[in-house]
Structure 1
Amino acid sequence: MPTTQKTLLFLSGFVTSLGSVVVICSILGTQEWVTSTIVFTDAISNGTIVITYGLFRGMSAQDLNEGLQDLDKNFEVLGTLGNSSQKSLHLVAVIFLILSLGASVLSSVFTFYNSISNPYQTFLGPMGVYTWNGLSASFVFLTMLLFVGNTESNHLSEELSQKLYPDTVNKRTTHTYGYSFWLILLVILLNIVTVVIIIFYQKARYQQKQEQRKPLEYAPRDGILF
């Protein structure tokens, strides 16, 4: 059976790993990734289009300076994009986030297993926890980079606008990233905290081993021989 110290530390790691799972699920399920305000003109009017969306769903609204504006629209992101480079990059970002979720789930399993068992010398021990948290942080960071690149450089919002309002001509776009996007940083922080907890455990374990060796190292040689 593991010591009380090990149980408490690995249970703490389990809590932070489980926290990252919950946060990633929230990121996947919410739509507040980015809000894009697009200034446009068409044949009879001009104004702005405001598009707010996440990885799967979004909503758009028009604000016209004159003329009759369309009703607010709810849309599916991947379905609206059709076959385009924006869709491909967006799909890769979704896949990386799902991989991050899987790695966080495995980190939760490993930390909980270590709190009730002693698989220290195998991959099921701290090395496995380090691996899954490193992968989770890497995958979620790649998701962040891909989404920003797709939005800023590959004009994801403008492509969505053109699909939703094909008769408009986009003039200028500004982006504001929402809480769903910034929660990615919380996932990375939770991954780091999990790793730090396990490093603290390994350091404490090493110090305990060193203290157990000291009585033998400083004992009289005759006593050791006896």
Structure 2
Amino acid sequence: MPSTSKTLYFMSSALATAIGIGILGYAMSQQWSYTTMKCARSESDLYNGSATIDLGLFKGLLKRESCPGFGSTDTFEVVPTLAEGEEVASLILHGLVVCLLVLCMVFSACSILISLYNSVSNPYETYMGPVGIYTCSSISACVSVVVLIIFVLNLNVTKMAEDLVTGFIPGISVVLLKESSEMKLGYYLVIPYTALSLLAIGLIYIYDHAAYTRRREQERPTEDAPKDIIMY
């Protein structure tokens, strides 16, 4: 049976990771960005309309004011709407974001299982020990950072927002000028998930380092007792 300290450390690591999964799951259900744009019928016209997009990973909300015609409010499925547009890169990057987030949750779940296994047993130093937790939690943390970068790039470099707006006004040519984009709750909740994944690694490292130091002290040879020197 593992020691009490080992059980506490590994259970704490599992708890931190579980909280991280809960936060990430909630983040995926929230809105990730808010974009405002100006709208005109052609490049020579003045921008006399506007559109805003409240974007989540799966659903979004579009509000138009004279862009063109009368204003309207529409909800939409993000992936199908992007698939109907001309910007393939934005669809690929958005799909990649969703897939990477699912991958984060899978590796976090593996980290929890390994932590729970170590809290009730003493496995060898293999992938079922601290090495497994280091690997799974590190991948989760790194991939979540990649997600933050890709989402911002997709929002600001590609024409994802413009494609989503023009998808609701087929057959009408409009010119859109993006004014600003701001990140919302869903995006920022990925940050505490990353921090909790790193905390899970830190807890196991503290225990592993202390256990290694203790083993080294136990393996240190004891000093020989002084012997009498007999001179002939």
| TM-score over 0.5 (shorter chain) | yes
* Mapped partners of 1:221, 1:33: distance in 2: 73
List alignment gaps of at least 5 residues for structure 1.
none
Number of equivalenced pairs: 219
Quote the residue 2:62 is aligned against: 60
Higher helix share goes to which structure?
1
Matched, 1:82 2:88: no
- Secondary structure of the 2:158 match is coil
User: In terms of Rg, which structure is larger?
Assistant: 2
Quote the residue 1:127 is aligned against: 131
* Mapped partners of 1:118, 1:105: distance in 2: 20
Quote the residue 1:173 is aligned against: 179
Percent identity for Structure 1 against Structure 2? 27
- Secondary structure of the 1:124 match is coil
Quote the residue 1:203 is aligned against: 209
List alignment gaps of at least 5 residues for structure 2.
228-232
Quote the residue 2:15 is aligned against: 15
Taking the TM superposition and a 5 Å limit, the aligned residue runs for 1:142-153 are 142-153=146-157
C-alpha contact 1:120 1:126 (8 A) present in aligned 2: no
Shift of 1:212: 3.0
Cα displacement string for residues 91-141 of structure 1 (whole angstroms, at most 9, x for unaligned residues):
111111111110011111111111111113221000000000111112212
CA RMSD for the aligned pairs? 2.2
* Mapped partners of 1:55, 1:119: distance in 2: 39
1:221/1:164 Cα in 2 relative to 1: closer, same or farther (>3 Å)? farther
- Secondary structure of the 1:121 match is coil
* Mapped partners of 2:24, 2:224: distance in 1: 55
1:65/1:58 Cα in 2 relative to 1: closer, same or farther (>3 Å)? closer
- TM-score by structure 1 length? 0.89
